[in-house]
Amino acid sequence: MIIFETTESVIEILWDVALAFFASRIALIYFTLNFTSGLIIHYLLHHHLLLAPHSSMMMIITSLLMLAIPPLYSRMIIQRYEIPRVGVFRLAIGAVALVLMVLAEGFVSWVGQEEGWWNLRSSLSIGNASSGVRMMMLLGWLAWYALMPFGMMFLERREEEEKEEEEKEVREVGEDGRVGQEKR
């Protein structure tokens, strides 16, 4: 007895929904790791090392750490969830994580300004740098963050090629049957 009659289009739709859920879940994890790390870094540098929030030393340290974090988390998530090397899928993960990051940063900026913790106009300046420079740095970091899952494909390809070359060297078998011997 068939309760529901299914066609290929129904199965394709269900598969697309499952992939969207999978990508959204991974993007949420990627966003949470990066956002939490950024908050912790800012808190530690500002409250424990007592660096002024807009000093050039604070901005250099924060910038270097925030450039190093997305590749680490991207790599960790790709390995943990065994994400296939499909560019569209990885771009979707980065795009969803980017939307979450922009919303969270906007919310934190809005709450900070409403509570009087900082003035949004003064927070867009870095020492003597203009707000345009600060905005370009922010947009550059957001692009780096969003494209990192996709960019890891190139690193994985290079690692895979190196691994195949090593395996090829190990598999070479000589005429006498010994492994690793060159053929004569």
106 versus 2: the higher-pLDDT residue is 106
The reported pLDDT for the residue numbered 39 is 87
pLDDT tens digit sequence for 6-65 = 677 888 888 899 999 999 999 999 999 999 998 888 788 777 776 666 677 777 888 888
DSSP-assigned states of every residue in 131-162: HHHHHHHHHHHHHHHHHHHHHHHHHHHHHHHH
Mean pLDDT of 168-178: 64
Q: Where are the alpha helices (DSSP H) in the chain?
A: 8-43, 56-81, 87-114, 120-123, 131-171
Residue among 170, 126, 150 nearest 70 (CA): 150
Of 93, 111, 146, which Cα lies nearest the Cα of 39? 111
Dist. CA 173–CA 184, nearest whole Å: 11
pLDDT at residue 176 greater than cutoff 70 = no
Predicted confidence at residue 135, as pLDDT, reads 79
Q: What is the pLDDT of residues 86-143, one digit of tens each?
A: 999 999 999 999 999 999 988 888 887 787 766 555 544 444 456 677 778 888 999 9
DSSP reduced 3-state for 173: strand
Q: What is the pLDDT of residue 51?
A: 66
pTM here is 0.77
pLDDT at 2: 63
Tokens representing 113? 């300004």
Burial of 165 (0-12, 13-18, 19+ CB in 10 A): exposed
